[in-house]
Structure 1
């Protein structure tokens, strides 16, 4: 199922956070939102998972205006992992993951055999089966992140919205998450700070600055030295990954000519 942001704007207390953003995410496509802090990435995503109502414009899911759909219906189709996701109650990991079925249930019903299997599969996919009986309050930040992503998968969404999903994850689990996103078949829109990770996983990248779309295209088209300099204010050299062919950025650190090297 495709997703479309049509002239989406967000203005709060006289400040424009997102300005007439237009972006199409095709069915099964992985699109990354990149940009400096405060560029509007998280704000745009909040409009997609309906934590925020746009001041103007429309978010389309398939052919439907999201604002005209019920919240439960939206939750059946869109799952979100946000920067401020919390699991503060003393639930076990398996109880938190099972909450992903809530949009599909009418009342406080027990999970059926299929739903229990979905939960087991999500625990295994995120490498947290061994944590199933643990309280979420005892977990590390990376472990909680994987629990909350498993909960999102159990929703069986058509669209997955991820805001900085690699936060707190070690390198192994970052790589596993990226491999999963590339092959999951879901429509994915994700905000990322790590440009090289975005280049590795995203089929297209939308680059934002000060609430506006600067450019959108394949990673090699967007992640150029000129664009990086203009948007992020840093110098970068672009090289090609020898295995995947994805563009990778080597950032040029300024050298202080007044600093003498200390011999080892």
Structure 2
């Protein structure tokens, strides 16, 4: 299902957080949003999963205005994993994952055999099956992150929205998680801070700065030395990955010469 943000703007307390943002995510594509802290990435995502109503503009899932849909219908179309996603009660991992089926159930309806198998597959994919009987409050931040993504996947959404999903994850699970996104089925809009991971995982990238979309296109088109300097304020050399050809950034750390040690009197 295609996702389209059309002229999206968010103004809070007289401050523009997102300014006239238009972005298309084709059916089944993975599109990344990148940009400095405070550039409006998470605010834009909140409008997609309906935690925030934009000041102006629309969010369309196919031809449907997400902001006008009944809550249950919207929850069947869009699943989200947020930066501040948390579970306050000490449910077990398998109980939390099963909560992803809530939009599809009526009242206290039990999970079907198919739904139980769906939960098991999601836990296998995210490498958390061995944690199924553990309480989520006993997990590390990275383990809990994978549990919340499994919950989003069993929702079987048409559109998956992820806000910094690699936070707290070790390198192995960062790579494994992002590899699942490609060809996973849902249309994916994801915020990432690691530009190299974004280049490897995303079909297209949108760059936000001060609430505006300043660049958009394939990773090769977008991730240039000039853009990284202008938007992020750092120097980087862009090289092609030797196996995939994806652009990879090599950062030059600015260093100042050490001050000479004071002479002994």
Q: Same fold (TM over 0.5)?
A: yes
The answer for unaligned runs of 5 or more in structure 1 is none
**Corresponding residue of 1:105:** 105
Distance 2:248 2:125 in 1: 28
**Corresponding residue of 2:72:** 72
Distance 1:209 1:192 in 2: 14
- Deviation of 1:259 (Å): 5.5
Partner deviation per Cα, 1:16-43 (whole Å, 9 max, x = no partner): 0000000000000000000000000000
Aligned partners of 2:28 and 2:183 also within 8 Å: no
Distance 2:163 2:255 in 1: 34
- Secondary structure in structure 2 of the residue aligned to 1:10: strand
The question of 1:157 aligning with 2:162 is answered no
Distance 1:54 1:255 in 2: 42
**Corresponding residue of 1:89:** 89
The question of 1:195 aligning with 2:195 is answered yes
**Corresponding residue of 2:57:** 57
- Deviation of 1:183 (Å): 2.2
Q: Residues 93 and 234 of structure 1: is their aligned pair in 2 closer, same or farther, counting only changes over 3 Å? A: same
Distance 2:165 2:134 in 1: 22
- Secondary structure in structure 2 of the residue aligned to 1:183: coil
Could you list the runs of 4 or more consecutive aligned residues of structure 1 that deviate by over 4 angstroms after TM superposition? none
**Corresponding residue of 2:145:** 145
Partner deviation per Cα, 1:137-159 (whole Å, 9 max, x = no partner): 10000000000000000100011
- Secondary structure in structure 1 of the residue aligned to 2:207: strand
- Deviation of 1:109 (Å): 1.1
Distance 1:119 1:178 in 2: 19
Aligned partners of 2:240 and 2:247 also within 8 Å: yes
How many residues align? The count is 260
The answer for unaligned runs of 5 or more in structure 2 is 261-265
Give the alignment's Cα RMSD to 1 decimal: 0.9
Distance 1:144 1:257 in 2: 43
**Corresponding residue of 1:166:** 166
- Deviation of 1:257 (Å): 2.9
So what's the TM-score if we normalise by structure 1?
0.97
**Corresponding residue of 1:21:** 21
Distance 2:196 2:126 in 1: 22
Partner deviation per Cα, 1:20-71 (whole Å, 9 max, x = no partner): 0000000000000000000000000000000000000000000011122111
Distance 2:78 2:216 in 1: 23
So what's the TM-score if we normalise by structure 2?
0.97
- Secondary structure in structure 2 of the residue aligned to 1:27: coil
